[in-house]
Each structure stands twice: as C-alpha cells, then as structure tokens.
Structure 1
Amino acid sequence: MYILTDELKHLGFSVNTLSALIQKNKGIRRFNTLDYFCICIITKDIDLEVETILYHIRCGHIIFIGPQKQVCFGKSEGEGIYVISFSSSFYEQSSKDSLFLNSQLFFNYRADIFIAPFSDVENEWVLFIKRMKNFQLNDESLYISAAHNAIERLILDAFLYMPSDEINRDINFDYLYYVNRFKVLLQRDFKKNKKVSYYAGKLNISSRKLTEMTEYILGKTAKHIIIEKILGECKKSLHFSNHTISEISYNLGFSNEGNFSNFIKKHTGKTPSELKIVSKA
C-alpha cells in the first residue's frame, strides 16, 4: 500500500519525482491511486502497468490516471518522471474544474489511462519543482494557487488531443459525474458487490436512474457494465495468475467455484479451465 506524503494528506496536492515516491514507498514500485487523481510527466522512456495492462510510454508524453487504479512503474534511468497527485476537493473550485475532473482524461472509456503528447523538456520541470517548493516554503496560499494553475494548464493541453466525439460525450455533466463515480465505486467494490442496487444506493439514486445515466453516457446498462468489469477481471486472473480456479473464484468474491464457473460459461461460452488452457497455449 502506498504511503501518502505529508503534503498530500495536508493539502490534497503533491508533486514529486517518481524516484522520491518509490524511496518513500520502501523501494516498492507498485501504487494504488486511492481517491486521488494523478498526472505523470514522462521525460524518460518507461514501462507502466495499470490494472495489469502494460503500456510502453515514450519520453515526451503526459499520463492521466483516475482514482482507484493499481499502478506499477517499470525502471527508468535518472529522475525523468514527475508525479502530480491531488484530490477532487483540492482542485474543484468551479463547475469547469468539476467538468475537467470528470472528463475522459481521468475516466477514459476505452482504457484505464489517457496518454497525450507533451513537448516541454525535462529542464522546465526541474525548474517547476524548485519553484513550487519555494512557493510552499514562503506562502502556502500562493503555492496552492500555483498548483491549481499547473494542473489546469496540463489538462487544457491534453484536451487538444482528445477526439471531438469524446468531448461531446462530456456535455451532460450531472450524468457524467454519477457515471464516473459509479465506475470508481465499481473498481473498488466489484469483488464484494455485484448488484446495480448496491451502487445506486451508494450514489443515492435509483437503479433505474443509474441505468438511464450509463445508457446515455456509455450506451450500456449499469448491469452490463458490472458484468463487463467482473468478466474482465476473471479473464485477467485466468490468463496471468498461477492461482487455481478455486482460488481465483474466491479472490474475485464468488461464493463458490461452481458459481464462478457458471458465470464464465454464461458470458464466454467456455469453462474457466478452457480459458486458462487457451491463455497458456
């Protein structure tokens, strides 16, 4: 489990080199974003694993990662990775800020991250880190303002690379907010809770309303999204883990191996054993 920096706990914002975060995390390169939003400035090539999917990130890119994501950084030479972490309460000062946070940048419907080109050179970010630290030492209110402006600049730059059809999907903010909160809750709780009513209750809306929202934003029912999430995690475990089918079914919150097998058979037409064999072929 990632040990939060004092700065992040106090202000809801922090900016650090990846090497500093790994050192604080006792050398462990695996993190969970928890309830925080993360922006990674990549000035050295690096491999990045998010939710067991491996991405090869080239120098000169910026990565947006939403809450409740499992992230593992590969090794990279030097100090060329910068990680900005912040809470929604830190950044949201207006409805525009809320729209940014609930956009495709942090809740990409096609992948767990959003990647955009970033042309600034490493030296600028070395100077930025130093400047931010000076702000922090001399005037906390100025530091907070500078941090908010830096996040907004990165977000606006990234919006230039978002397909127009994706931006259009973000028009209905109320629906977007609830659907993205649903996705965060699902990411966190899918092992224990697999019913639409649970997530609707957490959001203080009806199951019918949640489904109306997911159909509008994603073109799918809430139940379908839950099934897709669980099925995806089942396939990942069957493909990439060395656990037995019984262990996998338990780890994913199924009451027994039979229910797990029935779920897989119903939605794939194959048994868990067949999927596990195919993945090793």
Structure 2
Amino acid sequence: MKAGAVNISKITNAITTSQQPDSYAVCWIKNEVMDVEIDNVFYENVSNSIFFLTPNCHWKIIKTDQTSHAGYMLYLSREILNHPQLSNLHINQVRLFSQGEIPLFKLSPGIELRTQAILEMIDELLGSQLNHKNEAILSLLNTFFVYCDGQCNIKSAISNNNAKANVVYSYKKMVDKYIFKYHDVAEYAQLLNISPKYLNECVKGVLGVGAKHIIIEQLLMRSRHALKFSNKSIKEISFELGFSSPDYFSCFFKTHTATTPSALRKS
C-alpha cells in the first residue's frame, strides 16, 4: 500500500473542508453537526449518517460544538478502491462514489457503533508501526464497506425510475428486517408479491449476484459479529439466526467461509 493511499482524520474544527482533493472521501457524521454543504446543496439532520464523496466534490462540514469530534473523514485513493479485496464489493457495483446524486445513508444505532469502532481501529493502525498493518487496514475497510452495503439505499445511487432497482431496494430492506425468520428467496418474493424468478432477475441485473447471495451475506455478517462480539453459545446463535439446528448452522458457516463457528471464535 502506497503512503497516503488511506488517511483518516477526526472532524473537530468548526468548519471542515476537503484536505485531499485527489482522494475519494467517506464522511461519517456522528453528531454535533449543524449542516453539510456539498456542491452548494445543504444537508441537515445528518447525525449517524455516511456520505460518499468523489474528488471533484466541493464540500464543507459546519459543526455546532467545537469541544468534541463529530465523526471521521476517511480518504481513499483510487488504487485502494480498485484493490482486489475491495473492488468486487456490491458497494462499488451500485456506484456509491457516483458523479450524480450524492448518496446519503442513515445508519441504525447498532451499525453506527460498529462503523465507529472500525474507523477508530483504522485511525489507530495508521499511526502505528505494527507488522502487517496494511493487511489489517484493508480487512477493516472491507468490513466497513460490508456494513455500509447492509444499510445501502441503492435508490440514492440509481434512478428512482428504474423498476428493478426499486425491487432490489425493497428486497434488501426485507432481508435486513426478516433475516432471523426467512432464509429462502421464495419467501421474500411472496412478501413482495412477485415471482422468485423475477426477484432473482432484478437482483442479478442490479447487483450482479443472485438473490440468494444477499441472504447468505446477511447471515454470515450477523453470525460473524455474534461469534466475535457476544458470549452467546453457538447453539443460541444458530437458533437466533433462524437455523433449525446448530449442526445445520455449522455446516452452512463452514460451506461459505471454509472454517467452523468454533474456529472463528477462537481466532
């Protein structure tokens, strides 16, 4: 990783403007921000939100309270976004760093805390001399974007008139809401009053993967977090995620990660 390919800074000043005009920027707003101005458009009520900004954007963040930091600015080079570990993420495929409407995502409280923790770890690693820190930073960036993708309102990045995009947006919201109950594409298709074939066609056309992949991705994201950051037993996690048995959960997890839940927990 080249020097300066990834940089991060806390939003502490009364007014923050772009410090790296050649970089893509991810603006994570925690709180204490009056408004954000991007290309002469003002955004208010932006607490617990993320903006994705291209190098050609002109932006300014205005704080209300100068005694604490209001979030982070994460700067990424094109080289980093094209890295094999990040380039195939859905978040790139829906072009969050677009030249059109600026995507703004409101984060749920749980996701907000996780994204904050990830950005804090990136900040710490960038200032360290640890071995293999570049690999760790890339891994954290990958996790950060996966969480963002889980919140992704693709209607912000794709035309609202695109019927298939609207279907995928509704599908992703339903998967996020009902993942503990439904694991089959057909069940979500029924909720959306469309056929499983058409749902799969929409997801494939917009995201380039099958509809089942979205379900699997959500299950893996939630199971990894539970295994790493909770004291719940594997049995408890399996039932909470809607699996019929711990053995089925372990088989599913190993099939898609090449490791077992117990091995991940020990790592």
When normalised by structure 1's length, the TM-score is 0.45
When normalised by structure 2's length, the TM-score is 0.47
